[in-house]
Amino acid sequence: MSAPWSAPLAQDAVHATVEIAGSKSITNRALVLAALASGPSTLRSPLRSRDTELMAGALRALGVDVADGPNDEWLVTPTTPHGPATVDCGLAGTVMRFLPPLACLAEGTITFDGDPRARERPLDTVLHALRDLGARVRGDSLPFTIEGSGGLHGGEVTIDASASSQFVSGLLLSAARYDRGMTVRHAGSAVPSLPHITMTVEMLRAQGVDVDDSEPDSWTVSPGKIEPLDLRIEPDLSNAAPFLAAAAVTGGEVTVPNWPTRTTQAGDAMRWILQEMGARVRLDETGLTVTGPERLRGVDVDLHEIGELTPTVAAMAALAHGESRLRGIAHLRGHETDRLAALRAELTNLGTEVSEHPDGLTILPGPMRGGQWHSYADHRMATAGAILGLRVPGTRVDDIATTGKTLPDFPGLWTSMLGAQQ
């Protein structure tokens, strides 16, 4: 853990243009597909952060060649995965949930482990599904072991994915390489973060894989080859959210270049959330530009499909005028930390009145005071503390380095943004 970081106070309205690195969600899906493709792939402008480096390292451990290209690409040459190997998942949900289905295609013993908090994250859904398909799996959470036999017949499984859409995506990404493909059916309350499953399906189809999602809560992947990728990775729109929030909470203006006009990224929803809170939003050839209002207003919003934005929205709500209700986010209790409990505790510590409900939070802004903001080894909690620090003197984030999980050198980007005020 790094030393506490004094969150910079905005001396004036923030005016800046901020370049955001590639999407973590797209990068890690692309790495898995490239590892299973029928030939070499090129991933252009990938995100290089702890989560994506962990994914690349995991694939290398399985024998896949993931090499650096001359122009910041990743060049991926697939091979038949093999063990014995050890996969370090860190705290990356995409690694711990996307790699086990791929490891079933390997020959040999594959051992998975990760950070202490990762051992608490739910994994039994995907591991039980793999057992139902005939895989040999020892354990229901990290650490666990897969005895790969070089392939899997595939077939139909029914799971409860109400805790995470990653359970569905993880199974779908490798399904085309199973002998019979796979049908995944969901039985339970609504699947959260559905845009991430849409992203998975579209990326599979782009590489020639036949996916039928015409029936609600059911996805069928036909067996077949995966075409090699030549893909330029979009900016990570969820990582852009704190910088756009900086404009909103200071009455300034921030532009993020290269914002896609069409995307499956959940972070694109920041556009309408900011508008609901009173900001002006413009998308044109220069990118996405957000202009903050004189005073933000509270919002009543269902974040079930875009839960990753919750810490950012909660920080803005604490600085807004009027009560906010954030709903549909019970599943965030199983993320990097229990984000609902963490937000309630940290916002309360800084003087905001917060009520926790079974499905979300009610935030009633009040006079705020500086103090320690705990990140809980959660990158989005850390960036939420930075947002609050723009307006609350004396805010200190205990572990800003945890932002490296998805956003390299967040502190440098943040201070550069504020330097643009001058």
262 CB neighbour count, 10 Å cutoff: 5
With contact defined as beta carbons under 8 Å apart, do 356 and 344 qualify?
yes
With contact defined as beta carbons under 8 Å apart, do 112 and 99 qualify?
yes
Q: Is 19 annotated as a binding residue?
A: no
Name the amino acid, one letter, at 143.
P
Q: Is 375 annotated as a binding residue?
A: no
Q: How far apart are CA 28 and CA 55, in angstroms?
A: 7
Q: Is 391 annotated as a binding residue?
A: no
C-alpha distances out from residue 366 to 51, 129, 320, Å = 36, 47, 9
Residue bearing tokens 């954030």? 326
Q: Is 166 annotated as a binding residue?
A: yes
Query: Nearest CA to 41 among 229, 210, 284, 232?
Result: 229
Residue bearing tokens 């999407």? 23
Q: How far apart are CA 377 and CA 401, in angstroms?
A: 9
DSSP characters for 351-394?
Answer: T-EEEEETTEEEEE------EEE--TT-HHHHHHHHHHHTTSTT
Q: Which residues contact 107 (CB under 8 A, 6 or more apart)?
A: 80, 81, 82, 83, 148, 149, 150
Kind and range of the H or E element at 282?
strand 280-284
Q: What is the CA radius of gyration of the chain?
A: 21
Q: Is 29 annotated as a binding residue?
A: yes
Q: Is 335 annotated as a binding residue?
A: yes
Q: Where does 39-131 show beta strands of DSSP type E?
A: 41-44, 65-68, 74-77, 85-88, 107-113
Q: Is 121 annotated as a binding residue?
A: yes
Q: Is 49 annotated as a binding residue?
A: no
323 in active site: no
Compute CA 247 distance to the chain's CA centroid, rounded to the nearest angstrom: 22
Name the token pair of 52.
């994506």
Of the residues 73, 305, 308, 336, which is catalytic?
308
DSSP state letter for 108: E
119 CB neighbour count, 10 Å cutoff: 15
C-alpha distances out from residue 71 to 203, 260, 339, Å = 23, 22, 37
Q: Is 339 annotated as a binding residue?
A: yes
Q: Is 50 annotated as a binding residue?
A: no
Residues tagged in the binding site annotation: 24-25, 29, 93, 121, 164-166, 193, 308, 335, 339, 380, 405
What residues are designated binding site for 3-phosphoshikimate?
24-25, 29, 164-166, 193, 308, 335
Catalytic residue annotation: 308
Query: Which residues are documented as binding site for phosphoenolpyruvate?
Result: 24, 93, 121, 166, 339, 380, 405
